Amino acid sequence: MTGLDRIVENALLEDIHTGDITTLAVVPEPRAAHARLIAKEAMVLAGIDVAARVFHLLDNTVLFTPAFRDGDRLQPGDVLAGVDGNAAILLQGERVALNLLQRMCGVATLTSRYVTAVEGTKARVVDTRKTTPGLRMLDKYAVRVGGGINHRTGLYDGVLIKENHIAAAGGITEAIRRARAYIPHTMKIEIETESLAEVGEALAADADIIMLDNMDLATMAEAVRLIDGRALVEASGGVNLDTIRAIAGTGVDIISVGALTHSARAMDISMLLEGV
Amino acid sequence: MTGLDRIVENALLEDIHTGDITTLAVVPEPRAAHARLIAKEAMVLAGIDVAARVFHLLDNTVLFTPAFRDGDRLQPGDVLAGVDGNAAILLQGERVALNLLQRMCGVATLTSRYVTAVEGTKARVVDTRKTTPGLRMLDKYAVRVGGGINHRTGLYDGVLIKENHIAAAGGITEAIRRARAYIPHTMKIEIETESLAEVGEALAADADIIMLDNMDLATMAEAVRLIDGRALVEASGGVNLDTIRAIAGTGVDIISVGALTHSARAMDISMLLEGV
Amino acid sequence: MTGLDRIVENALLEDIHTGDITTLAVVPEPRAAHARLIAKEAMVLAGIDVAARVFHLLDNTVLFTPAFRDGDRLQPGDVLAGVDGNAAILLQGERVALNLLQRMCGVATLTSRYVTAVEGTKARVVDTRKTTPGLRMLDKYAVRVGGGINHRTGLYDGVLIKENHIAAAGGITEAIRRARAYIPHTMKIEIETESLAEVGEALAADADIIMLDNMDLATMAEAVRLIDGRALVEASGGVNLDTIRAIAGTGVDIISVGALTHSARAMDISMLLEGV
Amino acid sequence: MTGLDRIVENALLEDIHTGDITTLAVVPEPRAAHARLIAKEAMVLAGIDVAARVFHLLDNTVLFTPAFRDGDRLQPGDVLAGVDGNAAILLQGERVALNLLQRMCGVATLTSRYVTAVEGTKARVVDTRKTTPGLRMLDKYAVRVGGGINHRTGLYDGVLIKENHIAAAGGITEAIRRARAYIPHTMKIEIETESLAEVGEALAADADIIMLDNMDLATMAEAVRLIDGRALVEASGGVNLDTIRAIAGTGVDIISVGALTHSARAMDISMLLEGV
Amino acid sequence: MTGLDRIVENALLEDIHTGDITTLAVVPEPRAAHARLIAKEAMVLAGIDVAARVFHLLDNTVLFTPAFRDGDRLQPGDVLAGVDGNAAILLQGERVALNLLQRMCGVATLTSRYVTAVEGTKARVVDTRKTTPGLRMLDKYAVRVGGGINHRTGLYDGVLIKENHIAAAGGITEAIRRARAYIPHTMKIEIETESLAEVGEALAADADIIMLDNMDLATMAEAVRLIDGRALVEASGGVNLDTIRAIAGTGVDIISVGALTHSARAMDISMLLEGV
Amino acid sequence: MTGLDRIVENALLEDIHTGDITTLAVVPEPRAAHARLIAKEAMVLAGIDVAARVFHLLDNTVLFTPAFRDGDRLQPGDVLAGVDGNAAILLQGERVALNLLQRMCGVATLTSRYVTAVEGTKARVVDTRKTTPGLRMLDKYAVRVGGGINHRTGLYDGVLIKENHIAAAGGITEAIRRARAYIPHTMKIEIETESLAEVGEALAADADIIMLDNMDLATMAEAVRLIDGRALVEASGGVNLDTIRAIAGTGVDIISVGALTHSARAMDISMLLEGV
C-alpha cells in the first residue's frame, strides 16, 4: 500500500519520539514476549496488515501472525493475531497499532451497517472527502473493506461541479462545457443540483453524474424518473442509518455518506502481553 | 503552534495534490469571494486558528476574520468566522479546514461534557494516548480547550509502569527503584495497580502517582483512603458519561478517558460561499 | 500550483547546495542588477510563473516582471520577463529557472505542433505517463498550455485495462465487470484492444473508452465505424508528426502521444544580466 | 549511488500515489509473472541498476536479472534484463523504470555520438548544468557512461568566473585574485573569456582553466596557441554534432555540450510481461 | 533508537552527497576489506551502535563486530570493533562513523569525570539543553552512558519556571498555581530562584524542584537547610570540575552542567583499513 | 545561506516539539519584550544571521537588530544584538539561537588563534571533514569567518587519494592516472604521502597537491625543497597551537587542522530578557 510506511512512521515518531522512557528505565535488557490482539466486541476487521507494519517498522524480526483477513466479521473474544518479539518492541508498538486498527475497524464496521441497510436495492454506499486529515488512504480502504465504494479521493481525481462553480461559470450548461473541454477523457463529470429544473439542465448538458443535494424523497424519486438512466444519480445530504433505506428506495444509484469516515467510533480491541 | 504547518500542509496535499481539477476547468480566472463558517449545532469551539492556517498556507492574502475564540460555546447558526479571498482558494481550503475544525470541536465538546459531569468534585478529566495517528497535538489541544487536562504526550515524556514492566522487573518496588534511578528528576513516576495489595506496595515504594486500573467503585474508594494524599490517584478503565460521576465520588484525583479522542464524532459545521 | 515549491526547492538545492562559491568569492557584497529573459527561437511560452517562483524562493524581494503569459507565441528576440534584484541572487537562480522554463516551453511548443497537425478534425491530442520523473505536474501543465489535453495523471486517477489485466482476469468482459464493481463512479473505464474482435467484446461489456493499440489505419477506421459513438476511441502507438493527421482522419476521438513529454528538446532561452 | 532512492521513491509516489486502481480492481490476488526489458533501437545502455532499484523499492523479493552492464552497446531486440515477481508489482514499476532508463540511455547514447565525433583529437566532451531539474545525478552519471566527462556538478563544487563576476570585481585580475584567496585549494579556477585580450589577461592572472566562449574557429585556434599549455582550454557555445570535430581541431582540451542533457530524446525500450 | 536513522542518513548525505569521487575514480571495482576502530586515548565508550548503523545504512551486508559495549572504559590501543565489507563502503562510512563516535565518547568521558568528582555525595550530575543542534538525542544518551542523568529533553517535556515567567505571572506563587492547573499530572514543577526569599516563596507554593541559580556556596547550603527535603534542590551556574565537589558538599540533590554537552572535545579514535 | 532554514527548523523542532509547556501554562497571553545578546568573554563573532533566522522562523515579526558583523572581535560585555518581539517567542528561540551562535563563535575564535599563530608565514590554515554531523555548512562558514580556508566540503567535491586508494590502484602513478581520467577538469588531485620516496613519485605523476601525512619537521622541510613549487604542499597530522608555527616554518602551503571543528568549545554568550 503506497504511502502506508510514511503514515506508520509518522505515528510511531509521534508516540515514541526520543524513546519509551519507562521501558528504557525498567526493562533495559531484551526479553522475548508473546502478545495477542483481541476483539472485545463484534466488528468487521480492517487494517490487519497495517497493524503488522507497525511492529515490522519498529523491528523487522517481529513475527506477526494474523488469524483473520480484512473483511472478516469478528466476534467478541476473537484473537485477531499473535505477535512475537522483544517485549520492549511489543510495548512500544501496541498503542500505535491499536490506534490505527481500532479506527479502521470502526470505519469498516459502520460502513457495513450502511451497506446492509440498502441490501436488495441497487444503491451503492460511497464515502466522501470528510476523512481524517492525513489518513484518507486508510479511511477509504476501510470503506471498501466494509463493502462501500469510494467516491473521488480528492480534488484532483474527479470533477464535481458545485453551486459556486455553476454561478461563476454563468450556468450549468457552460460549466459542463468548460469541464468537458479541459479534463482527461477518463473522468466523468458530476454536477450538483438542487431542483428538478437544474436536473433537467444538467441532463441536457450531458452530465455523466447528477448529484441530488438535500432533496426530499419525493423530489428525488421524480428526479430519478426524469433522468431515466441517462446519467448516474447520487443522493447526498441528510443520510443516516434511519433514512438511507428510504433514500435507496427512490431508485438512486449512489448514496454518499460523510458519517462513514467523520464519525465512526473506534472499535474495542486490546493487546494482551504475556511471557514478560 | 510548533508542527501545525506540517499537519496542515500534509492535509492539503492529500486533498488537492496535483490540483483542484473542477475549479481549474470551470473557474480559471481569479474572482473575489466571501465565505462564512457556520455552526450547525451547539458546540465548544476549538481550532479556529487551525482553520485560518489552512487558508493562509494556500494563499497568504486571504483575510480570515474570526468572530469567536477557542473555548467559546457556540449555538446553532453562529458564524464562527468570515473568509475573504479568491474563490478558487476558498473552495480548495474548505474541506480541509472543516475536516480539522469539525474534529477538534468534536473533541472539545465531548471533553466539556465529561468535565461538566464531574463538576464539584476534585477529579480532573485527562486524556490518553488513544488519539488519531498524526494529529495527537491537535487532539490534546482540543482536550485542553474543552476543560480537560493532558496526560503525558507519548512514551517519551512520562513514566507509566504497567503490569508487564512490573513483571519484567520482578516487582513493584524494584520497578520503581529502577525508574527513579534513570529518569529526569522533572518527571513523576506513575504505576498501574490492580489490587489494594499492589496499591500498598506502590505507596511503600514512593510512587508519585498510583493508577487504579479497572477497579470497582468500592475498591477505588478504599484505595483512596489507603493512599490518603501521599500519592496522586488516577482512575482508569470503564469510564463513560454514565459512570464518571460515581468514579469521581470515590475521591480520585484524576480520571483518564480514552473516548475523548478515540470516539468523538465530528461537529456539524459548514462553509457558505457567496459572491462567486 | 500545488507541489510546485517542492520541485523548485529541490532543483535549487541540487544546483546551489552549500553555496555558489564563485559568487561568494568574487562578489561578496550585494549589488543591484537587472536581467532579461530572452527567447532565442520561436516557441510557445509555458512556465513563466515557475521561473518567477525560482527567484522568489531564493529571495522574496526580487521583482519579476513578465511581459508575456503562458500560451503566448514568442518570436526570436522577444523579452519574456525582466528580473530585478541582488546580482548574486539572479546569478544563482538563472540556471534553474532556465532549465525549468526551457523544458516547459519545449513541451508546450511540441504539443502545439501536434495540435496544429490535427486541426479541423475532431481528434484531441493527449499526453501519456511517459513524463520526466519528478516533473510530471509541470510536463502535464505544459501539454495543456500547448493545446493538448491530459490523459490520467498516474495509476491512481484513471482506469486503463491492458492486455495483462485482461489475461489475468480471464477476458475483457470479466475485467470490465471487476473494474466497474470497484472503482469510484466518477471514473470511466478504458480498455486496450488489439483487434476488431476485442473491440467488439469491449463494446459489449460497456467500456467507456476503447484504446486501439498499434492498429493500422484501415483497422482503426473500421473500429471507429463499429463503435459508432458508443464509446470514446483512443488511438495509441506509432504516432508522430508524420502520421498523426492520417490517424485523426480515421475518426478517432483521442490520440495519445508519448513524444510530447519524453522527447521534447529544450527551447533556447537565455538570461542577459546587466548593471553588475 | 547516494540519493538514488530518494529519486526513485519520488517517481514511484508520483505515479502510483494512492494505488494502481486498475490492478487493485482487476487483479486483486498475487500472481507470479515474468517480464523482459527489450531495446527497440540501437543504444548505449545506462541505468540498469536504477531500473532494478525501482522494482526492489516496490517489493524487495522481485528478482531482477540484468543481461548487460552500463556502457554496453545494445542492438534492437536485445533483452536488457529479466524481471520476476508478482504481476501487480511488475505492472506498477514498469512505467517508472522505463521512464528513468529510457532517459538515461538517451543521454549516454547521445554523449557517445559526440565522443565518437572527436575521436583521435585530444578534446574531451563534458556536460553542463543544463540538466533535468531533480535528476542531475542521473544525467551526469549517464554522461560518464557514454564516455563523456563531467564538468562541475553545481555552483558549489567548482569556480567559473563569468562576465558578470568580472564586471563586478572590476576586472579579470582582481576576480581571480579574490577567488584564489577564498576557495579550497583543491579547486581550480576557470574563467570565461570573449576575446584574445581577455585570454591574455586571464593567463597573466594565472587562471587554471580558460573558457573560450562563443569564439570562431580561427580565434579559438589563436587562443590555444597563445595559452600554449599554461592553462586548460575549454570551448563553449555553438557546439553540435556538425561543429564539434572542427572545434576539437583547434586544439582545445575540453568541449562542453549542453545538448547532452537538455535535448537528448528517450531511447525506445519496452517491457514485455508474460505469464499473467 | 528512534530517530537515529534520520541523523545518520543526514550525516551521510552531507558527506557523500553525489558520490565519493576519489573512490569512484580510483577504486571502481568492489574489493573486500577489513578495518579496525582503535582508541588512541583513554575514554568511556559511547555510540558503538551508532557507528555500526553508519555502515549498515550504506550497505547492509557490512559485518560490524563490536569488541566493547557502551559504558566500557577503554585504554589507548583498544580495538573497539572490526568492520568487514567492500573497501569503498568502509572508506565512505569512516569519517561519519568517527565523527559521531568521537563526539559521543567525548561527552560520555567528560560526564564520567564530573560523576567521579561528586562520588560519595548524594548529588547527581545532570545535563542541560545546551546540546549540539540536531544531535540532542545522542548527546543525552552519551550523558547517561557516562553516568549522568538527563534533565528534561526540551521545552515540551518538563516545566522550568524562570525569572521572566515569574515576572510575567506576577510572582512565584501565581506562576506555580498556573503551571499546576495546566500541566500533565505526570510532570513536576521546577522553579528558578535567586535568593533565599524566593526559595521560601517557592516552598510555600509547593514547588516540586527548586533551582538555586548562581548562588554562592554558603547561600546554597542555607537553602538546602531551609528546604529540608520538601523539594528537590538543583544547583545551576558556575559549575566546572574545580567547583562541583564543593557544590555537592552543600547537600543539593542535582547539579546541572552545560559543559557536558557544549564543550566536550572529541576523543581520539581512528580507523585502520587493511587488505585493500 | 542555502540549507540554513532546514538546520534551524530541525533544531527548533528538537527543542520545542509539541510546545514550550512552561510558557503555555504560565504566560499564555502575548507580551512585548526586549532581549539583548551579550558576549561574556572575548571572541570572534560568527553566526549573527543564524541567530536572527532562529527568531524569524518562529515569528517573522520579531525585530532582530545586530550591533556587530561576523568577523568582528568582541569584548566581554559587548551587546551583539537586540531582539524585540513577543516574550514567548523570545523565550522559545533563546536556547536554539545561543546553541548555534556559541558553537559558531567557538569555531571562529579557535580558528583565528591558529591563523594568528602562523602570521607572517605563507601557510594557510584549513579545516577538515571532522565537523559536527549535520552542521558542516555552519562549521565551514565559521572557519572562514575566523580567517581560515576551507578544504573540500565532503567526499564529492574534491579528490584526496589516500594510502588505501593507492594500494588498491597498485601505486601512486596509476592512482593519479585513474583520477585524472575520471574527474571534472575543475578539480585538482591531492595525494597523501608518508615518505620522501612517495613525494617523489607523486611529483613525477603530476599531482596537483601533495599531502605530507604525519611527517616530522625535518622531513617536511625536505619535502618542500624537493617539490619546489611544482605542487601545493599540505601538512596534516599532529597539528596544534604549540606545533603549528614550526610546521609553517617548513614552508608548506597549507596546514589542515581537525581541532578547528571537532574540539572547539562553545563561547559564553547569554541572552538577557527585559520588559516581561
Closest CB from C124, C144, C158 relative to A186: C158
CA-nearest of F40, F41, F37, F33 to F51 is F37
State the SS3 of B134-145: CCHHHHHHHHHH
Is pLDDT at E1 greater than 60 in this prediction? no
What pLDDT is stored for residue B11 in this prediction? 96
Q: How many CB pairs under 8 A join A and C?
A: 80
C-alpha distance from B47 to closest chain C C-alpha (Å): 24
C-alpha distance from C238 to closest chain D C-alpha (Å): 12
Judge if E123 and E243 occupy the same domain: yes
Q: How many CB pairs under 8 A join B and E?
A: 80
pTM of the complete model beyond 0.90:
yes
Range of the domain at F94: 3-114+264-274
Judge if D46 and D125 occupy the same domain: no
Contacts of A18 in chain E (CB under 8 A): 2-3, 137, 140, 153
Q: How many CB pairs under 8 A join C and D?
A: 202
Judge if F31 and F141 occupy the same domain: no
Judge if F22 and F64 occupy the same domain: yes
> CA dihedral in degrees (A19, A23, A25, A26; nearest 10)?
180
CA-nearest of E35, E149, E165, E168 to E89 is E35
Burial B154-183 (b: 16+ CB within 10 A, else e): bbbbbbbbbebbbbbbeebbebbbbbbebb
Could you read off the pLDDT of C185-202 as tens digits, one per residue? 999 999 999 999 999 999
Low-confidence ranges of chain C (pLDDT < 50): 1
Could you read off the pLDDT of F211-231 as tens digits, one per residue? 999 999 999 999 999 999 999
Judge if F233 and F213 occupy the same domain: yes
Q: Measuring CA to CA, how many Å separate E127 from each of B141, E3, E130, E143, F105?
A: 29, 20, 8, 7, 22
Contacts of F1 in chain C (CB under 8 A): 19
Task: Find cell 504526550 and name the residue.
Answer: B153
Task: Specify whether the CB–CB gap between C262 and D99 falls below 8 A.
Answer: yes
Q: Is C187 on the interface with B (CB under 8 A)?
A: no
Please indicate whether, in this complex, the C-beta atoms of E152 and B182 are within 8 angstroms of each other.
no
For chain E, how many residues are written?
A: 276
Looking up residue C146, the CATH number of its domain turns out to be 3.20.20.70
C neighbour chains, 3+ CB pairs within 8 Å: A, B, D, F
- Mutate: best of D26, D186, D272, partner C, most C CBs <10 A: D26
Output DSSP code: residue B268.
Answer: -
**Residue A130 annotated as catalytic:** yes
C-alpha distance from E234 to closest chain B C-alpha (Å): 10
Q: Is D137 on the interface with E (CB under 8 A)?
A: yes
Q: Is E19 on the interface with D (CB under 8 A)?
A: yes
What pLDDT is stored for residue B1 in this prediction? 42
Q: Which of A152, A162, A178, A188 is catalytic?
A: A162
Judge if D230 and D268 occupy the same domain: no
pLDDT confidence band for F1 (50 / 70 / 90): very low
Taken in order C188, C192, C195, C197, is the CA torsion positive or negative?
A: negative
Please indicate whether, in this complex, the C-beta atoms of E183 and F25 are within 8 angstroms of each other.
yes
The cell for C226 is: 463499429
pLDDT by 10-residue block (mean), chain B, 276 residues: 83 94 94 96 98 96 98 98 96 97 98 98 98 97 98 97 93 97 97 98 98 97 98 96 98 98 95 82
Q: How far apart are CA A173 and CA A171, in angstroms?
A: 6
Judge if B163 and B96 occupy the same domain: no
Q: Is D160 on the interface with C (CB under 8 A)?
A: yes
Could you read off the pLDDT of E17-37 as tens digits, one per residue? 999 999 999 999 999 999 999
Could you read off the pLDDT of E76-123 as tens digits, one per residue? 999 999 999 999 999 999 999 999 999 999 999 999 999 999 999 999
Name the closest residue on chain D to residue F185, using Cα atoms. D151
Judge if B103 and B158 occupy the same domain: no
Closest CB from D157, D182, D254 relative to F185: D254
What pLDDT is stored for residue D276 in this prediction? 60
Could you read off the pLDDT of F106-131 as tens digits, one per residue? 999 999 999 999 999 999 999 999 99
Please indicate whether, in this complex, the C-beta atoms of C157 and A159 are within 8 angstroms of each other.
no
What pLDDT is stored for residue D1 in this prediction? 43
C-alpha distance from F138 to closest chain D C-alpha (Å): 15
The cell for B119 is: 463538576
Is pLDDT at A1 greater than 60 in this prediction? no
Could you read off the pLDDT of D71-99 as tens digits, one per residue? 999 999 999 999 999 999 999 999 999 99
State the SS3 of E175-222: HHHHHHHHCCCCECEEEEECCHHHHHHHHHCCCCEEEEECCCHHHHHH
Taken in order B71, B77, B78, B84, is the CA torsion positive or negative?
A: positive
Mean pLDDT within F243-271 = 97
Judge if E45 and E59 occupy the same domain: yes
Could you read off the pLDDT of D128-164 as tens digits, one per residue? 999 999 999 999 999 999 999 999 999 999 999 999 8
Please indicate whether, in this complex, the C-beta atoms of F137 and C18 are within 8 angstroms of each other.
yes
What pLDDT is stored for residue B2 in this prediction? 58
Q: Measuring CA to CA, how many Å separate E178 from each of B26, B151, C163, E185?
A: 53, 17, 69, 13
What pLDDT is stored for residue A93 in this prediction? 96
CA-nearest of B70, B5, B36, B52 to B269 is B36
Name the closest residue on chain E to residue A57, using Cα atoms. E2
B neighbour chains, 3+ CB pairs within 8 Å: A, C, E, F
The fraction of chain A above a pLDDT of 90, given in percent, is 95
What pLDDT is stored for residue B108 in this prediction? 98
Q: How far apart are CA C261 and CA D265, in angstroms?
A: 10
**Residue E95 annotated as catalytic:** yes
- The per-residue pLDDT of chain D, averaged, comes to 96
Could you read off the pLDDT of B72-113 as tens digits, one per residue? 999 999 999 999 999 999 999 999 999 999 999 999 999 999
Q: Is F86 on the interface with E (CB under 8 A)?
A: no
pLDDT confidence band for F2 (50 / 70 / 90): low
Is pLDDT at E276 greater than 80 in this prediction? no
pLDDT confidence band for D274 (50 / 70 / 90): confident
Q: Which of E95, E113, E177, E180 is catalytic?
A: E95
Burial B195-221 (b: 16+ CB within 10 A, else e): eeebbbbbbebebbbbbbbebeeebbb
Task: Find cell 449512489 and name the residue.
Answer: A254
Judge if F174 and F83 occupy the same domain: no
**Residue B242 annotated as catalytic:** no
Q: Which of E70, E94, E192, E198 is catalytic?
A: E192
Judge if D88 and D154 occupy the same domain: no
- The number of domains in chain E is 2
Judge if B198 and B255 occupy the same domain: yes
Could you read off the pLDDT of A210-252 as tens digits, one per residue? 999 999 999 999 999 999 999 999 999 999 999 999 999 999 9
What pLDDT is stored for residue B3 in this prediction? 82
